[in-house]
Chains A and B, each alone.
Chain A
Amino acid sequence: MSKKPKISHLHLRGLLVSNMIGVGILSLPNSLADVVGNNGWLVLLIAGFLFIGLFLIYNQIFNLYPGKDIFEISRETLGFFYYPGLVIMFLYFTLFAAIIARNLGELIKIFLLQTTPISIIILVFIMATAYLTSHEIDCIARAGYFIYPIIIIFTIMIVLISLPKADYTHLLPVLKTDLKSVVKGVGTSSFSYFGVEIAFFAIPYVEDREKIVKSGVLGIITVTLIYIVLVIMTLAHFSLEQIKSIVYPILLLVRQLDLPGFFLENLDGMILSLWVLVVFATIAPNYYAAAIIMSKVLKTKHHKYFVLGLVPVLLIISLLPENFIVLFDIVQKYHNILAVLTLLVIPVAILISAYFRKKVQK
Chain B
Amino acid sequence: MLRNVSRDIEITFEYIKERFKDCDDLIYRRLEVGRDYGIKLIFIMIDGLAGKTDISDFSIENLVFEGDLNVLGLEHYKEKILNYFTQEGISNFDIKEEKDIELMLNSIMSGDTVLLVDGLDTSIIIDSKGWSSRSISEPVTEAVIRGPRDGFTENLRTNTALVRRRIKDTRFKIRGYSVGRRSKTNVALMYIEDIVNDKLLDEVKKRILEIDIDGIVDSSILEHLIEDNYLSVFPQVENTERPDSVAASLLEGRVALIVDNSPFALIVPATLGTLLQSSEDHYNRWIETSVVRIIRVIAVLTSILGSAIYISVISYQPGLLPSTLLYYIAANRVNVPFPAVIEAGLMEITMEIIRQAGTRISGPIGSTVGIVGGLIIGQAAVEAGIVSNLMIIVVALTTICSFAIPSYELASALRVYKFAFIVLAGVLGLYGIMIGIILLGSHLIVLNSFGIPFSSPYSGLGIEEGDLKDTIVKAPLQRLWMRPGFTHPKDKRRMGRVKRDE
Interface readout for A284-302 with B: 1 if CB under 8 Å, 0 if not? 0000000000000000000
Contact B319 A11 (CB under 8 A): no
Chain A, 98-120, CB within 8 A of any chain B CB: 108, 112-113, 116
> CB distance B319 to A266 under 8 Å?
yes
Interface string of B431-464 (1 = CB under 8 A from A): 1111101110111011000000101001111010
B430: Cβ under 8 A from any A Cβ: yes
A125 engages B445 (CB within 8 Å): no
A8→B441 CA distance, assembly (Å): 19
Closest Cβ–Cβ distance, residue A254 to chain B (whole Å): 12
- Cα distance A116–B428 when bound, in Å? 8
- Which residues of A are found within 8 Å of B434, using beta-carbon distances? 273-274, 276-277
Q: A113-B428, A125-B435 are in contact. Are A269 and B319 (CB under 8 A)?
A: yes
A265-B438 contact in complex given A10-B460, A142-B453, A146-B445, C-beta closer than 8 Å: no
B429 interfacial by beta-carbon distance below 8 Å: yes
Confirm or deny: B85 has a beta carbon within 8 angstroms of a beta carbon on chain A: no
Contacts A10-B463, A263-B325, A269-B319; A124 near B428 (Cβ below 8 A): yes
Flag if A277 contacts B320 (CB, 8 Å).
no
A244 at the interface (CB under 8 A from B): no
A97 to B445, CA, bound (A): 21
Chain B 71-91, CB-CB to A under 8 Å as 1, else 0, gives: 000000000000000000000
**Is B433 a contact of A273 with CB atoms below 8 Å?**
yes
Interface residues in B, total, Cβ within 8 A: 30
Residue of B nearest to A276 (CB): B434
Number of interface residues of A (CB under 8 A): 32
Could you mark each residue 63-94 of chain A with 1 if its beta carbon is under 8 Å from any beta carbon of chain B, else 0? 00000000000000000000000000000000
Task: Evaluate contact between A113 and B431: CB separation under 8 angstroms.
Answer: yes
Q: A273 near B431 (CB under 8 angstroms)?
A: yes
Cross-chain pair count, CB within 8 angstroms: 88
A86 CB to nearest B CB, Å: 26
Asked if B438 and A128 sit within 8 Å, CB to CB, the answer is yes
A135 touches which of B319, B432, B446 (Cβ 8 Å)? B446
Which A residues lie within 8 Å of B430 (CB)? Answer: 112, 269-270, 273
B292 CB within 8 Å of chain A: no
- Complex: A359 Cα to B213 Cα, angstroms: 61
Whether A131 sits at the interface, judged by CB under 8 Å, is yes
A51 in contact (CB, < 8 A): no
Interface residues of A in 208-224 (CB under 8 A from B): none
Question: Is B316 interfacial (CB-CB < 8 Å)?
Answer: yes
Residues of B within 8 Å of A124, CB to CB, are 428, 431-432, 435
CB of B70 within 8 A of chain A?
no
Q: Would you call B321 an interface residue if the criterion is a C-beta within 8 Å of the partner chain's C-beta atoms?
A: yes
B contact face: mostly helix, strand, loop, or mixed: helix
CA distance A146 to B320 in the complex (A): 26
Look across to chain B and name the residue whose beta carbon is closest to the beta carbon of A148. Answer: B460
- Enumerate chain B residues within 8 angstroms of A276, measured Cβ to Cβ: 431, 434-435, 438
Indicate if the CB atoms of A265 and B441 lie closer than 8 Å: no
Q: Which residue of A lies closest to B451 (CB)?
A: A3
Q: Are the CB atoms of A143 and B445 closer together than 8 Å?
A: yes
Tell me the nearest residue of chain A to B434, going by C-beta.
A276
Contact B442 A131 (CB under 8 A): yes
- A125 partner residues in chain B, CB cutoff 8 A: 435
Choose among B321, B438, B460, B461 the residue that contacts A280 (Cβ–Cβ < 8 A).
Answer: B438
Map CB proximity to B onto A249-285 as digits: 1 under 8 Å, 0 otherwise: 0000000000000011110011001101100100000
Quick check: is B317 within 8 A (CB to CB) of the other chain? yes
Point out the residues of chain A lying under 8 angstroms from B439, CB to CB: 128, 131
A270 engages B320 (CB within 8 Å): yes
Q: How far is the CB of A179 from chain B (nearest CB, A)?
A: 42
Question: In the bound complex, do residue A129 and residue B321 qualify as a contact, i.e. CB atoms below 8 Å apart?
Answer: no
In the bound complex, what is the Cα–Cα distance between A273 and B455 (angstroms)?
23
Are A131 and B433 in contact (CB-based, < 8 A)? no
Given the known inter-chain contacts A113-B431, A128-B439, A142-B445, please indicate yes or no for A263 contacting B322, CB distance below 8 A.
yes
Partner of A269 from B320, B428, B458, B459 at Cβ < 8 Å: B320
Q: How distant is the Cα of A149 from the Cα of B8 in the complex, in angstroms?
A: 78
Please report the C-alpha to C-alpha distance between residue A108 and residue B322 in the assembled complex, in whole angstroms.
Answer: 22
Residue pair A11, B460 in contact (C-beta under 8 Å): yes
Q: A274-B434, A277-B434, A277-B438 are in contact. Are A112 and B317 (CB under 8 A)?
A: yes
Chain B residue contacts of A171, Cβ below 8 A = none
B441 touches A143 (CB 8 A): yes
Q: Is the Cβ of B431 less than 8 Å from the Cβ of A121?
A: yes
A14 to B459, CA, bound (A): 11
Smallest CB separation, B326 vs chain A (Å): 9
| A108 touching B431, Cβ below 8 Å | yes
Q: Are A132 and B442 in contact (CB under 8 A)?
A: yes
What is the CB-to-nearest-CB distance from A228 to chain B, in angstroms, rounded to a whole number? Answer: 26
Within 8 A of A (CB), among B171-220: none
Interface string of A140-181 (1 = CB under 8 A from B): 001101100000000000000000000000000000000000
Q: What is the CB-to-nearest-CB distance from A225 to chain B, in angstroms, rounded to a whole number?
A: 21
- Chain B residues closer than 8 Å to A14, beta-carbon distance: 460
Bound CA span A276–B443, Å = 17
Interface status of A139 (Cβ within 8 A of chain B): yes
Q: In the complex, A26 Cα to B390 Cα: how many Å? A: 36
Known: A142-B455, A276-B438, A280-B438. A112 touches B429 (CB 8 A): yes
1/0 per position for A177-217, CB-CB distance to B under 8 A? 00000000000000000000000000000000000000000
In angstroms, how far is the closest chain A Cβ from the Cβ of B346? 25
- Whether B316 lies near A112 (C-beta < 8 A) is yes
Interface pair B325/A139, CB less than 8 Å apart: no
B325–A269 CB distance below 8 A: no
Are B435 and A128 in contact, with the CB atoms below 8 A? yes
Residues of A within 8 A of B319 (CB): 265-266, 269
B459–A142 contact, CB under 8 A? Answer: yes
* B460 / chain A contacts, CB cutoff of 8 Å: 8, 10-11, 14, 142, 145
Interface residues of B in 347-361 (CB under 8 A from A): none
A145 to B428, CA, bound (A): 27
Chain B residues with Cβ below 8 Å from A108 are 431
**B320 touches which of A116, A142, A265 (Cβ 8 Å):** A265
Question: Once bound together, how far apart are the Cα atoms of A273 and B443, in whole Å?
Answer: 20
Name the residue of chain A whose CB is nearest to the CB of B447: A139
9 A–B contacts, CB within 8 A, in A order: A11-B460, A128-B442, A131-B446, A132-B445, A139-B446, A142-B455, A264-B320, A266-B320, A269-B430
Q: Give 7 new A-B contacts, CB below 8 A, not counting A108-B431, A139-B446.
A: A10-B460, A112-B316, A131-B442, A139-B445, A142-B453, A270-B430, A273-B434
Question: Interface on B for A, CB 8 Å cutoff?
Answer: 316-317, 319-322, 325, 428-435, 437-439, 441-443, 445-446, 453, 455, 458-461, 463
Nearest 9 CB-CB pairs, A to B?
A132-B442, A276-B434, A273-B430, A145-B460, A128-B438, A128-B435, A142-B445, A131-B442, A266-B319
User: Which A residues are within 8 Å of any B CB, using their own CB?
Assistant: 8, 10-11, 14, 108, 112-113, 116, 121, 124-125, 128-129, 131-132, 135, 139, 142-143, 145-146, 263-266, 269-270, 273-274, 276-277, 280
